[in-house]
Structure 1
Amino acid sequence: MHRYSTVSTIFLRGRKMTSFQLFRRRLTQDWLYQLRTFRSIADWTIWLYMIIPTIVISIFIYRSWWIDGAPTWMEWMPASIFFLLGYFFSWTGAYRFYTDEADMVFLIKKDSLFIGLRKWGFFFSLIFQAVNTLVVVIALLPFLIQHFQLTWEHAIYYFVFLLAMKYFVMYLKFHLKKIQSKMKRIILTVLAFLLLSWCAQAISIHWTSGNFWIVLCIAVIVGFVGTLLYYPIVKKKSLFNIELAIEQAEKLKLVSAIHQMSFDIEKTKVYSRKKPWLFRNSKRIFKKRTARSGFLELFIKVFIRNSSYILTYLQICSATVAALIIIPPIWMKVIIFIGFLLMMWIWLGITWERVVLSHPFTKKYQGYDAYFSARNWAVGVLFICAILVVGLLAGSGYFLVNQISFPQV
């Protein structure tokens, strides 16, 4: 990972840097790092066959939304659903100070330079998140203006509310990050997410009804709370470790996305607890002890204990269910389902090999019949379970979509 040279960047051409010059240098280094990461996966073939065609097709589709209207599958959707989608978007991003681990040794002693760097990072975060929110609203304008026949005032107040909610959520996420207990942090995050989602749904009623003064008042209060309460943290040094963890997570977001999408990279999970929640006493699952049952028991315990495997399994299923419900043409549903079958089968096979062949002792017996028998049984059972889950959820969702009529505005 690229490191900032903290001491050497304090001086520029024989003179001391100002806080703005240091911030600009850190920001440039961060952009160059993201560019190098992107270029590491996007060679000329990716640009020619994927990126450029995707950009061109997206431009034509966006133009068609303005001219020909929204897709037919959106007829059943109410306008308030975009308030909920915008609320999900508001949970992305974080305040960044562009600090580095080495700053704790040297830069933290330079109060004016250190606090000045954090101030510039704070104000830049406000501007950057405002631009991101504006891009999202512009992308949704054809639906709001053309399809739902809303006014430009709706779009403006929609932007104001989303931006205010984003500032508040970034402030809230920082305090949730301070909670050391992982279980307590997860519970409070889920509760906060649900509570704020109910508030967003209530405000969407006033938004669709044209009561903009209520939306504006709430947005101003929420936005000021998210920014004014966070600004004093800029001058505090006691929370440097938490800020550094957030900074590293934001900086490595693109790398983490590539890491998650790659099937060739092992996604190891580090556990802080001494014992797992399931099979904590490591009791036997199968009474009959055979080579086949030994392979199966090893795979089942590791698969269930490692949350990254479970989450990936559920993500593949949930993404397929959403696509089968939303996309209307039957032939596209068939293609998506076939793609799901291939992806799930390949991923389960790769996961089996990662789990069972990760240790030299088990890798020694990969040529035995018991190994292939256990592999086929485990992969087959999980594969059938995935098909049943996708079929039941997609069927139930499709039935509800066709039976329940949503109000239009």
Structure 2
Amino acid sequence: MRRYLIASTTFQRDKIMTSFQLFRRRLTQDWLFQIRTFRSIADWTIWLYLIIPTIVVSIFIYRSWWIDGAPTWMAWMPVSFIFLLGYFFSWTGAYRFYTDEADMVFLIKKDSLFYGLRKWGFFYSLIFQAMNTLVVVIALLPFLIQYSQLTFKHAFYYFFFLLAMKYFVMYLKFYLKKIQSKMKRIIVTILAFILLSWFAKIISFLWISGNFGIVIIISMVVGFVSTYFYYPLVKKKSLFSIELAIEQEEKLKLLQAIHQMSFDIEKTKVYSRKKPWLFRNSKRIFKKRTSRNGFLELFIKVFIRNTSYILTYMQICSATVAALIIVPPIWMKVIIFIGFLLMMWIWLGITWERVVLSHPFSKKYQGYDAYFLARNWAIGVLFICAILVVGLFAGSGYFLVNQISFPQV
């Protein structure tokens, strides 16, 4: 209620504004929110020992790529690999209208102001995503020009294709958000991701072979169709709830990333369904009822039901697999794998304490032998499973990279 009262006061103060002035105020507020979020973790020590050194080192590395060429460990990377990187990048971002939850009550009654705000947000999203794409292409220029011996013409058409793909994916993500069933939305998203990856692969062949005319025509058609069909949605009030959900996700993306990387913040998960997918009837996992099995059953059920734990577990494994495949030197692979072992073991220990010790009743028995036996067994099993998953996928990926031949320029 307090939020609506604040929004009402703000609206009464802003109602004499034009739509552009209101958009500018909302945009400024959003940037200030992101700055405050970043400053909450970046104190002077982070700036002095992490951020500033990283910026300086990145500048020197980028300069060395232009002067001395790309490093030798990139020798195995085919030119088409940058299309893979660009394709992953195209799935980031979304259209933002800078609307607020209270607008449904106050601003939605002012058609001209409401449509004007959404219109300015739409055009700003197009420009902002174009600038992001340009930054990515500039960062890849040394690899394109110096290492792969391509031309600036290749980079120019690569930029247009990435931008068109980004506009199309942003249009597609809106309709994916409309799917009510979470499982159906995940399946459709995976299928769309695979189909578009095949499309990007075909375009990469045309781009490498120098068929720029076909590439630019396809890029213009995809980009124009995506923006042309999305722009009429700006005037539809019935889609306000979906757009508001997307807006909140984009606004809180940095904050959620900080929470996800922080071991000191509990990641709570709110469920929209009444029963979980697994153990919905809360049946016993172990037939033998012991204190150790009781701790294990509590941890297993909570760990599997809470998708944030599963996703974090898989993210650590998948990031390690990607690093082991991409980084060629053996000594760097060893360092990455050791870092993975330490990170996974520490994270599993912290997760166990969050799950089991979150309730005062279970916390009362944390000094018992059964508690430590269950803790060591659960962490050990998940730890070994993580090693097997990383070893299996990293080995398979390394084999495929060495067996599959990509087209070269």
Greater mean alpha carbon deviation, residues 334-343 or residues 198-207: 334-343
Deviation of 1:388 (Å): 2.3
Please give the per-residue CA displacement for 1:284-341, whole angstroms capped at 9, x wherever unaligned.
Answer: 2222111011111111122122221111111111211222222233332222222111
Aligned length: 407
Other-structure match for 1:153: 153
Alignment of 1:310-349 (within 5 A): 310-349=310-349
Other-structure match for 1:296: 296
Other-structure match for 1:205: 205
Deviation of 1:107 (Å): 1.1
**Is residue 2:3 matched to residue 1:8?**
no
Contact 1:317 1:386 in 2 (8 A): yes
* Partners of 2:225 and 2:326 in 1: CA distance: 37
* Partners of 2:399 and 2:73 in 1: CA distance: 14
Flag the 1:399–1:192 CA change in 2: closer, same or farther, 3 A: closer
Greater mean alpha carbon deviation, residues 332-341 or residues 105-114: 332-341
Flag the 1:397–1:194 CA change in 2: closer, same or farther, 3 A: closer
Alignment of 1:42-81 (within 5 A): 42-81=42-81
Flag the 1:332–1:9 CA change in 2: closer, same or farther, 3 A: same
Flag the 1:284–1:9 CA change in 2: closer, same or farther, 3 A: closer
Deviation of 1:391 (Å): 2.5
Contact 2:277 2:305 in 1 (8 A): yes
Alignment of 1:324-403 (within 5 A): 324-403=324-403
State the one-letter code of the partner of 1:227.
T
Contact 1:2 1:33 in 2 (8 A): no
State the one-letter code of the partner of 1:324.
L
* Partners of 1:11 and 1:293 in 2: CA distance: 60
Other-structure match for 1:226: 226
Other-structure match for 2:125: 125
Flag the 1:399–1:182 CA change in 2: closer, same or farther, 3 A: closer
Contact 1:76 1:406 in 2 (8 A): no
Other-structure match for 1:100: 100
Contact 2:99 2:244 in 1 (8 A): yes
Contact 1:179 1:185 in 2 (8 A): yes
Greater mean alpha carbon deviation, residues 386-395 or residues 187-196: 386-395
Other-structure match for 2:190: 190
Please give the per-residue CA displacement for 1:331-375, whole angstroms capped at 9, x wherever unaligned.
Answer: 322222221111111100011111111112111111111001110
Other-structure match for 1:238: 238
State the one-letter code of the partner of 1:8.
T
* Partners of 1:38 and 1:44 in 2: CA distance: 12
TM-score when normalising by structure 2: 0.95
* Partners of 2:406 and 2:211 in 1: CA distance: 21
Other-structure match for 1:274: 274
- Percent identity over paired residues: 84
**Is residue 2:255 matched to residue 1:255?**
yes
Equivalent residue of 2:238, what SS? coil
State the one-letter code of the partner of 2:31.
W
Equivalent residue of 1:41, what SS? coil
Deviation of 1:225 (Å): 1.2
Deviation of 1:16 (Å): 1.7
* Partners of 1:232 and 1:101 in 2: CA distance: 21
Flag the 1:203–1:405 CA change in 2: closer, same or farther, 3 A: closer
Greater mean alpha carbon deviation, residues 202-211 or residues 76-85: 76-85
TM-score when normalising by structure 1: 0.95
* Partners of 2:197 and 2:353 in 1: CA distance: 41
Alignment of 1:159-178 (within 5 A): 159-178=159-178
* Partners of 2:116 and 2:396 in 1: CA distance: 55
Contact 1:6 1:107 in 2 (8 A): no
State the one-letter code of the partner of 1:221.
V
Greater mean alpha carbon deviation, residues 117-126 or residues 304-313: 304-313
Equivalent residue of 2:206, what SS? helix
Deviation of 1:396 (Å): 3.3
Contact 2:11 2:106 in 1 (8 A): no
Flag the 1:232–1:311 CA change in 2: closer, same or farther, 3 A: same
Contact 1:115 1:234 in 2 (8 A): yes
Flag the 1:75–1:268 CA change in 2: closer, same or farther, 3 A: same
Flag the 1:190–1:258 CA change in 2: closer, same or farther, 3 A: same
Contact 1:96 1:121 in 2 (8 A): yes
* Partners of 1:321 and 1:347 in 2: CA distance: 17
* Partners of 2:320 and 2:28 in 1: CA distance: 39
Deviation of 1:96 (Å): 0.7
RMSD value, Cα = 1.8
Greater mean alpha carbon deviation, residues 138-147 or residues 65-74: 65-74
Contact 1:70 1:146 in 2 (8 A): yes
Contact 2:167 2:223 in 1 (8 A): yes
What stretches of structure 1 of length at least 5 have no aligned partner? none
Deviation of 1:406 (Å): 3.6
